[in-house]
Amino acid sequence: MEAVVTGKRMEVLLDEPTIQQRVQALGQEITADYQDKELVLITVLKGSVVFAADLVRSIELPLTMEFMGLSSYGDDTKSTGVVRVTLDLSKPIEGKHVLIVEDIVDTGLTMQYLLRNMATRNPASVGVCTLLHKPARQKVDVPLDYVGFTIDDHFVVGYGLDYQQRYRNLRMIGHMVDG
């Protein structure tokens, strides 16, 4: 299915009902897995905000949220492999059960960096929940505890994911058919 968004033709990969149904299911899985644990969701900015907002409302547990800014793309469509911290956590996570919420894991380099960074902070556990996994671009293996969707090698936008800071507000996930 195609859509026209701000003059650009896009192929819709995941429509809003499909995304919402999967986010609800992820929330139920996380609720079951973290019963009786002090859970901290760490949302990776900026792309994961929309996903995290829907996900947190689907988790039926007391939890806290933290935010961390990382960048490995800049304004390009491919990861540079160099990870920059643009915003660090505001509270310690020592002894807490941490769940990292990410929009997309492709090369694995950013997540590898983040997991190593979290390990130095002595949490009780660290899990990863990603909306999208793109194994075709994978350079390193990283553990993914919860995966919303596995997708082919397309540069995708919508539902928080952007191209040059645009298209985050789309309710679907798609890729541009033409430039």
pLDDT, tens only, 7-50: 678 899 999 999 999 999 999 999 999 999 989 999 999 999 99
Domain count, the chain: 1
Which one of the listed residues 54, 103, 106, 162 is annotated catalytic? 106
**Listed residue (150, 133, 154) closest to 142, CA to CA:** 133
3-state secondary structure at position 141: coil
Mean pLDDT of 140-153: 97
Cα separation, 52 vs 54, in Å, equals 5
User: Angle CA(23)–CA(122)–CA(124) in degrees, nearest 5?
Assistant: 50
Q: Which amino acid belongs to residue 138?
A: Q
pTM for the complete prediction?
Answer: 0.90
Residue 64 has pLDDT above 60, yes or no: yes
DSSP H helices, 34-173, are: 49-56, 109-119
Active site residue 178: no
pLDDT per residue as tens digits for the range 68-105: 998 775 555 555 567 788 888 999 999 999 999 999 99
Domain containing residue 45: 2-73+80-176
The CATH number of residue 133's host domain is 3.40.50.2020
Tokens linked to 65: 């949220």
Distance of CA 78 to the CA centre of its chain: 16
Kindly state the average pLDDT of the residues 142-156. 96
Tell me if 112 sits within 8 A of 144, measured CB to CB: no
